[in-house]
Amino acid sequence: MNKIIFALAALLFSATTMAQQSNEPSILPKPSKVTMGLQECFFVLNPQTKIINKLEDKDAKVVTKEINSLAQELLGRNLKTASSIKEDNNIIIKKNGSLATEGYILEITPENIIIQAKSTAGAFYALQTLKQIVPIQAYETPLDLETVKLPTMKVEDAPHFAYRGFMLDCSRHFWDVETVKEVIDIMALHKMNRFHWHLTEDQGWRIEIKKYPLLTEKGSLREQTTTGHNEGFDGIPYGGYYTQKDIKEIVKYAEERFITIIPEIEIPGHSLGALCAYPWLGCRGEEGNYKTWSLWGVSPQIVCAGKESSFKFWEDVLGEVIKLFPGEYIHIGGDEAPRDEWKVCPLCQKRIQENGLKNEAELQSYVTHRIEEYLNKHGRKLIGWDEILEGGVSQSATIMSWRGASGGIKAAQKGNYAIMTPNDFCYLDYFQTKDRKDEPDAIGGYVPLSKTYSLNPYDKLTAEQQKYIMGVQGNLWCEYIPTPMQLQYMALPRLGAIAEVGWSNPAPESKDVNKFIERAKHLSRYYAVFGWNFAKHFYDGVEQ
Which positions touch Zn ion (CB under 5 A)? Answer: 283, 304, 306, 345, 347-348
Residue 348 binds which one of Zn ion, ligand ACM, none, with CB within 5 to 8 A depending on kind?
A: Zn ion
Q: Report the nearest approach of Zn ion to the CB of residue 269 (Å).
A: 13
Q: Report which of 352, 336, 349, 259 is spatially closest to residue 301, judged by C-alpha positions.
A: 336
Query: Distance between CA 285 and CA 306 in Å, rounded?
Result: 12
Q: Report the nearest approach of ligand ACM to the CB of residue 386 (Å).
A: 8
Residue 221 binds which one of ligand ACM, Zn ion, none, with CB within 5 to 8 A depending on kind?
A: none
Q: Report the nearest approach of ligand ACM to the CB of residue 397 (Å).
A: 15
Residue 283 binds which one of Zn ion, ligand ACM, none, with CB within 5 to 8 A depending on kind?
A: Zn ion
Q: Report the nearest approach of ligand ACM to the CB of residue 322 (Å).
A: 22
Q: Does 390 bind ligand ACM (CB under 6 A)?
A: no
Residue 345 binds which one of Zn ion, ligand ACM, none, with CB within 5 to 8 A depending on kind?
A: Zn ion
Q: Can you give the length of the chain in residues?
A: 544
Residue 430 binds which one of Zn ion, ligand ACM, none, with CB within 5 to 8 A depending on kind?
A: none
DSSP class of residue 104?
E
For ligand ACM, the closer of residues 103 and 273 by Cβ is 273
Give yes or no for a contact between 35 and 157, defined as CB atoms under 8 angstroms apart.
no
Q: Determine how β-strand 226-227 pairs with β-strand 232-233.
A: antiparallel
Query: Distance between CA 192 and CA 184 in Å, rounded?
Result: 9
Name the closest residue to ligand ACM (Cβ): 335
Q: Report which of 534, 536, 461, 471 is spatially closest to residue 501, judged by C-alpha positions.
A: 471
Q: Does 402 bind ligand ACM (CB under 6 A)?
A: yes
Q: Report the nearest approach of Zn ion to the CB of residue 295 (Å).
A: 23
The greatest distance separating any two alpha carbons of the chain, rounded to the nearest whole angstrom, comes to: 97
For ligand ACM, the closer of residues 62 and 476 by Cβ is 476
Residue 255 binds which one of Zn ion, ligand ACM, none, with CB within 5 to 8 A depending on kind?
A: none
Query: Distance between CA 532 and CA 339 in Å, rounded?
Result: 41
Binding pattern for the stretch 216-245 against ligand ACM, x by CB under 6 A and - elsewhere: ------------------------------
For ligand ACM, the closer of residues 205 and 402 by Cβ is 402
Q: Report the nearest approach of ligand ACM to the CB of residue 306 (Å).
A: 24
Q: Does 385 bind ligand ACM (CB under 6 A)?
A: yes
**Which one of residues 217, 249, 335, 459 is an interface residue with ligand ACM (CB under 6 A)?**
335
Give yes or no for a contact between 293 and 299, defined as CB atoms under 8 angstroms apart.
yes
For ligand ACM, the closer of residues 166 and 212 by Cβ is 166
Q: Report which of 472, 462, 544 is spatially closest to residue 501, judged by C-alpha positions.
A: 472
Q: Report which of 36, 67, 71 is spatially closest to residue 53, judged by C-alpha positions.
A: 67
Q: List Cα–Cα distances, 71 to 74, 106, 108, 146, 523, in angstroms.
A: 5, 17, 16, 11, 19
Give yes or no for a contact between 493 and 507, defined as CB atoms under 8 angstroms apart.
no
Q: Does 439 bind ligand ACM (CB under 6 A)?
A: no
Q: Determine how β-strand 80-81 pairs with β-strand 112-117.
A: unpaired
For Zn ion, the closer of residues 263 and 306 by Cβ is 306
Element counts in the chain: helices (H) and strands (E): 19, 19
Amino acid letter, residue 35: T
Query: Distance between CA 403 and CA 166 in Å, rounded?
Result: 17
Pick left, alpha or beta for residue 289 (phi over 0 → left; psi -120 to 50 → alpha; otherwise beta): left
> Considering CB under 6 A, how many residues would be counted as binding ligand ACM?
4
Q: Report the nearest approach of Zn ion to the CB of residue 210 (Å).
A: 27
Residue 336 binds which one of ligand ACM, Zn ion, none, with CB within 5 to 8 A depending on kind?
A: ligand ACM
Q: Report the nearest approach of Zn ion to the CB of residue 361 (Å).
A: 15
Query: Distance between CA 198 and CA 163 in Å, rounded?
Result: 17
**Which one of residues 59, 73, 336, 518 is an interface residue with ligand ACM (CB under 6 A)?**
336
Q: Report the nearest approach of ligand ACM to the CB of residue 160 (Å).
A: 24
Q: Report the nearest approach of ligand ACM to the CB of residue 23 (Å).
A: 44
Give yes or no for a contact between 281 and 304, defined as CB atoms under 8 angstroms apart.
yes
Residues that bind ligand ACM (CB under 6 A): 335-336, 385, 402
